[in-house]
Amino acid sequence: MSQLTERDVLAALSKVNDPEIMRDLVSLNMVKDVKVEGGAVSVKIELTTPACPLKGKVQSDVEAALRAIPGVSSVNVTMGAQVRAAAKAQDDLLPGVKNVILVGAGKGGVGKSTCAVNLAVSLQREGATVGLLDADFYGPSVPMMMGIKQKPVSKDGRTLEPIDAYGIKVMSIGLLVDPDQALIWRGPMLHGALMQLFRDVSWGALDYLVVDLPPGTGDVPLSISQQIRASGAVLVTTPQDVSLADVMKAKLMFDKVNIPVLGMVENMSNFICPHCQKATPIFDQGGGRRASEAMGIPFLGEIPLDLAVRQGGDQGVPIVIGVPESPQSKAFASMARNIAGQVSRQAAQVKLPIMGQA
């Protein structure tokens, strides 16, 4: 029997696909640190995101492929992650940010900010470095939902330091103006202030910058599409017809400005009675899934309507922090993993190098 080599290992793993991206691990440069000592084989699999929704399947597929190699007596597979950029580097405005994820909605009141906050926190809990920018100038709710009361400061007199909340770098226009002041700004003022929140904030190195957009299809989303190379947009809706009609318009807007739509989240999908545990579809049922299928975009998850979600937002403790093992938190975590998976698919399609590596 010929001696086992690294080439044998790579040949076996070239037949194992990443189930999210549907390309083999070797061509995706995910196989690292191959070691062969007699019949003992060890490898490290570097996932494209720590929030990989199919991490367990990747690991089991790799282990099975290695054990099938003739002469292998033992297998040791370790899992790591290196987030990849799904768009060109933001050299001008965000040089250290790999992926900008826009969270938008066709109308207000669908829980867009709640989804953005819990998306950011869920990604951070998975091990990613995350920033959260509140770009909803007319209704900035992120400071309250993240429990932030302090004002940002500048260390160098030129750039602002984002506020750290739950391990996430946060910035909002709500941290810079009087909370009782109404912002009566036209398009040019909005554009200038928005670009400052990107350019003049020390975001540093981030895997993901989650941007909470204002509802609708107005100046702010258009300004971002013109200046920022976003990795994609997430659409938030509720199941009822009026919300679905508006979110379809938001989808068309992102299509026109060439921002990929990563998928749709259905918020307030049903209400679980805390006493009898019966599910009641207050705002109809399944509308988001049907709409995503009609638009040809991924369905990213259903988030139940629950008192604890609202209480967490009002108290400045997102539910995925306050009650991490609850069904609601698990729904947000599943949503975040699905979104991270879609970003990884975008990164694989554009075939960009891993930022920070030669």
Alpha-carbon Rg for the chain, nearest whole angstrom, is 22
What was the pLDDT predicted at 357?
37
Q: Where are the beta strands (DSSP E) in the chain?
A: 17-18, 23-24, 31-37, 40-47, 74-81, 97-104, 130-134, 163-165, 168-172, 206-212, 232-237, 261-272, 279-280, 299-305
Mean pLDDT score across all residues of the chain: 86
Helix or strand holding residue 321 (H, E): helix 319-322
- For residue 110, pLDDT beyond 80: yes
CATH 3.30.300.130 domain extents, the chain: 6-81
Q: Which of 105-114, 182-191, 251-260, 303-312 has the lowest mean pLDDT?
A: 182-191
What was the pLDDT predicted at 186?
54
- 354 pLDDT tier (thresholds 50, 70, 90): very low
Phi first, then psi: give them for residue 119, nearest 5 degrees: -65, -50
- Looking at per-residue confidence, does 184 or 122 come out higher? 122
What was the pLDDT predicted at 294?
86
What was the pLDDT predicted at 327?
87
- 257 pLDDT tier (thresholds 50, 70, 90): confident
- Looking at per-residue confidence, does 47 or 87 come out higher? 47
- Cα dist from 65 to 6, 11, 13, 28, 190, whole Å: 14, 10, 7, 17, 54
pLDDT in tens, 272-301: 677 776 776 666 667 788 888 888 999 999
What was the pLDDT predicted at 34?
96
What CATH number belongs to 97-350? Answer: 3.40.50.300
Q: Which of 150-164, 178-192, 234-248 has the lowest mean pLDDT?
A: 178-192
Q: What is the mean pLDDT of residues 79-83?
A: 95
CATH 3.40.50.300 domain extents, the chain: 97-350
Regarding the domain delimited by 6-81, which CATH topology (the fold level of the hierarchy) does it fall under?
GMP Synthetase; Chain A, domain 3 (3.30.300)
What was the pLDDT predicted at 79?
96
Q: Which of 2-16, 57-71, 173-187 has the lowest mean pLDDT?
A: 173-187
What was the pLDDT predicted at 77?
97
Cα dihedral across residues 167, 209, 224, 222: positive or negative: negative
What was the pLDDT predicted at 228?
84
Q: What's the CA gap between 163 and 177, in Å, rounded?
A: 15
